[in-house]
Amino acid sequence: MNSLYQLAGLLAYILAGRVVMRRLNGALREAALAALNLGGVFFFLFYGGKEHFALRFGIYVGLIVGLYLVVLLFADKRGAWPWLAFFAPIAALIVIRYVPGEFYVAFGHAFGQSWRGVPQMIGISYLAFRCSRLVLEVRNGVVKMPSLLEYVNFAFFLPTMSVGPINTYANFRRGFIERYDVPVGRAALRILVGAVKYQFLAGLCNQLTYSGLLLDDHPHHWVDLPVAMLFFYLYLYLNFSGFCDMAIGAAGLIGIPVPENFDHPFAARNVKDFWNRWHITLSVWMRDVVFSPLSKFLVTKMGIKLADHAIALTITVVFLLVGIWHGVGWNFAAFGAVHALGVVANHYYTIFLKKKLGREKFKAYN
């Protein structure tokens, strides 16, 4: 799609969304915003893409509506039923990620469709985590069960659809309950800064990453490897945070609050602090949904004397899940394992310092 058309479409989407949020109310606002988001997702993320893009979009919408029906049926029930609704989006993510592409090809042929691989599922990881978190919000009484239109607006909100940040339903609905005002100039500058990071600076850094620097079939000096390692992380940061900047700025112009996803991660003092600053919404999801309940369970089972080791085990589980969440393959699992090792080492080093320095000196040290 022509970049000029994309830019014009994005400006039209933001302007229309701002008008809908400020001029309409009630069911009319929900319906208008749902139509705008569905149209935006189809136009920007599916239209003109892989073959049968309209059918792929229909399957995608059907999957998300199907997940809503599971949430509607089980999220506010007693006992273990809410966990069925919680794990349904996670199960959908696992199936889409790990079922071989040949299955989808055979499935398509059975219905006369020439699928060439896995159906196009834009942002399925972020969608799964948002919907699972919604179940817990409903079960815990934080929010009421959303209507279908409210759910569609939350699930299909275009700025955060493809790569987040992972918003909670309660925070998303703040824009509907009270007027969420961000100065136009500040939001527009946020979009501009994000665009420069995403389109320009990330591209420059990508020329010095593994693919840009090393994979040219020529011999390289050893120093090129650490250079590629450094610039790969810079590329990831500029690419990802730049997109998040644009998403947060666009959502602010429309009137929807979106949480920050980065807080100067390369200023972190250690790997634990890094994960408090990098992909913050994923870290918060893992903390609330996995780390807190699992660590409490393990401490109960292992006893208070082994609490430090129970926490270390929980950290390992969390970061292995973080690695697997990012993608399929041993390299993603290795990514999670390496970060688990770093955070666990920091965990034990912190315990050592507290014992050696005492509470007051440790506080001064920090």
Helix, strand, coil content of the chain in percent (nearest 5): 75, 0, 25
Neighbours of 257 (CB within 10 A): 16
* C-alpha Rg value of the chain to the nearest Å: 22
262 beta partners: 278
278 beta partners: 262
Q: Cβ distance 151 to 70 under 8 Å?
A: no
Q: Model-level pTM greater than 0.85?
A: yes
pLDDT tens digits, the chain, 366 residues: what are they? 566 777 888 999 999 999 999 999 999 999 999 999 999 999 888 887 666 778 788 888 998 999 999 999 999 888 889 999 999 999 988 888 777 666 666 666 665 556 555 556 778 889 999 999 999 999 999 999 999 999 999 999 999 998 889 999 999 999 999 889 889 999 999 999 999 999 999 999 999 998 888 888 888 889 999 999 999 999 999 999 999 999 999 999 999 999 999 999 999 999 999 999 999 999 999 999 999 999 999 999 999 999 999 999 999 999 999 999 888 889 999 999 999 999 999 999 999 999 999 888 988 988
